[in-house]
């Protein structure tokens, strides 16, 4: 399976952060993503999404294996923090 990457305005003011899409809400256009810059799972609203340049998207795809473990850990943290009984 090939992952989809989008951009989000950098929290540090450094341009665009690379985000891997985990889930997308068709009704609202928002997406749940793993933000590589902040190492967190976040919800990105439709109007906050940015298309990545081809070179940046290729970089994200080429370095995907380096972030696989970080994605799993961030997802586990997110699920633990947002656990609903």
pTM of the model: 0.87
14, 9, 52, 60: CA torsion to nearest 10: 70
84: tokens are 């609903």
Per-residue pLDDT of the chain (85 residues; tens, 9 = 90+): 789 999 999 988 889 999 999 999 999 999 999 999 999 999 999 999 999 999 999 999 999 999 999 999 999 999 988 875 5
Distance between CA atoms of 77 and 85, rounded to whole angstroms? 16
User: Cβ(76)–Cβ(39) under 8 Å?
Assistant: no
- Spell out the domain ranges in the chain: 5-81
């Amino acid at each position: 399976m090939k992952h989809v990457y989008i951009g989000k305005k950098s929290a540090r003011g450094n341009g665009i952060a690379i985000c891997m899409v985990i889930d997308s809400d068709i009704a609202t256009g928002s997406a749940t993503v793993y933000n590589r810059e902040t190492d967190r799972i976040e919800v990105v609203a439709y109007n906050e999404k940015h298309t990545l340049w081809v070179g940046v998207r290729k970089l994200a795809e080429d370095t995907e294996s380096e972030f696989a473990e970080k994605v799993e850990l961030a997802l586990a943290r997110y699920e633990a923090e947002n656990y609903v009984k």
